[in-house]
Structure 1
């Protein structure tokens, strides 16, 4: 099942009203599949200017960016929707990791949902992405960002991104091969220079403010719901499938249950499968004992 079909099965958009955040050129919910509004932080024309020449758009370029229906502002999604809300579902693919205050962002999404509405998140698994060498974000870091009301990535996160972001071949990680750190942006020396500039000027840069494995995300989610910081229960959590690099989370807004009851809906994942790196398959383990010149046959 492809990622789009998974999302459709989660949110069941036909006959319902929903929002997809940040679809750019590749919306997961099409307009002919339900009453869906596309939301982003800029109007369509400004968004196309910002992404002019951006490699993530591929051959379609900025002309392929879908028209933005809802422009997100400081007031959050509920405020941006106005009388069009609340909605039945929200979809956000590879968004939560960019948000400086993830708890505040999730709470704002809850404000925009009807009781029983669902929020579908697609989250990159750091083990199989350029975040491979970063340590998973902690619940404490998210709580601190929320209490501080952060609107920009903290300097520590900026440094970590530029010091450790490294190209990673997901298939190699799945095979249990060791991955070499090859910083995309020059490593710690360049990261220090960038972080110092951010600290001095107060500028903002788009980085992954949080990084997760399925197991670390589940543990944090249970803790935050248990603290009654989030108005959700966990309706589903699909860990990263073999050879893929992202996992799926479905949150359901429930305010009629206690925080402890809602926290108990988060599944407990096996850290050996959903937090640790995959172990080499037996041919690769055998190859490690062979002379280097013979190892190619086992790759």
Structure 2
């Protein structure tokens, strides 16, 4: 009889294989729940505003303990990340539930790459749209990412704001795992008037509205990154990933710089192939069995 394997914690998945004591880490958007602690090793905290501003912004947010917000070391906004760090480079970057918010995904990845020491890597925690309020939104396609990069987006674009506002819904993760959700039975967070209002605010005033610009499942994330690698838009390979666990709503991906285009593309193809794609409400073994049966009949 084999011994029971203890599940990895979120922190263990995110930081697996990293030597925090002897490496310089950078955490983006830690707010009041940092994964990197100064007691564990040197760390630079980066956010879009300084600590005082963040405490004022979130003072009435019940989900944020303003007294626990980290002391921000570098503010990354109109400047580049390298400028924000004063030219310093780091050994690894950690970002939890950040990548889906950035207006220009390609530019953001390039800036992360610019601050990494040789052998460095980026660790991401990414929400899985199939079990979050993004449930009814379509997964991000390469054309949307290219458009955002083409216009040099510094704020979420009007079409993104409209898509977000008319489609995000009050989704319970456990319910989404049990069975497909009825789009007519799930309450929406916003309405068309709100969607058009924030889109017009962006168009006319350049206003920033914090939304999920990008929508992923593990497989669609890998597909998008493979396509970007094939087009020569990124030089990050997939180092490792932890798939979304049942009754959970996030997955973990490690990005490693690579100058080998073919290996970079292949690394994302491997993730795309290995990522589970079982439908909510169906046991995983039935999905795989049905897939094998279909293949055998072809």
Secondary structure at 1:56 match in 2: coil
Secondary structure at 1:39 match in 2: strand
- Equivalences for 1:1-299 in 2 at 5 Å? 1-57=8-64, 61-83=65-87, 85-179=88-182, 180-185=185-190, 187-254=191-258, 257-266=259-268, 267-270=270-273, 273-274=276-277, 277-281=279-283
Shift of 1:31: 0.8
After superposition, the C-alpha distances for 1:177-221 in whole angstroms (9 at most, x for unaligned) are 424331112x22432233234333332211111111111100011
C-alpha separation in 2, matches of 1:272 and 1:34: 32
After superposition, the C-alpha distances for 1:70-126 in whole angstroms (9 at most, x for unaligned) are 11132322121124x211000000001111001100110000001220100111001
What 5-or-longer segments of structure 1 have no aligned partner? 283-299
Q: CA RMSD in A?
A: 1.9
Shift of 1:24: 0.5
Point out the more displaced range, 197-206 or 39-48: 197-206
What 5-or-longer segments of structure 2 have no aligned partner? 1-7, 285-298
Q: Could you tell me the TM-score, scaled by structure 2's length?
A: 0.86
After superposition, the C-alpha distances for 1:143-202 in whole angstroms (9 at most, x for unaligned) are 1111211001110111111111111111111112424331112x2243223323433333
C-alpha separation in 2, matches of 1:173 and 1:160: 20
Q: 1:10 to 1:189 in 2, by over 3 A?
A: farther
Secondary structure at 2:211 match in 1: coil
Q: 1:272 to 1:106 in 2, by over 3 A?
A: closer
Shift of 1:10: 4.5
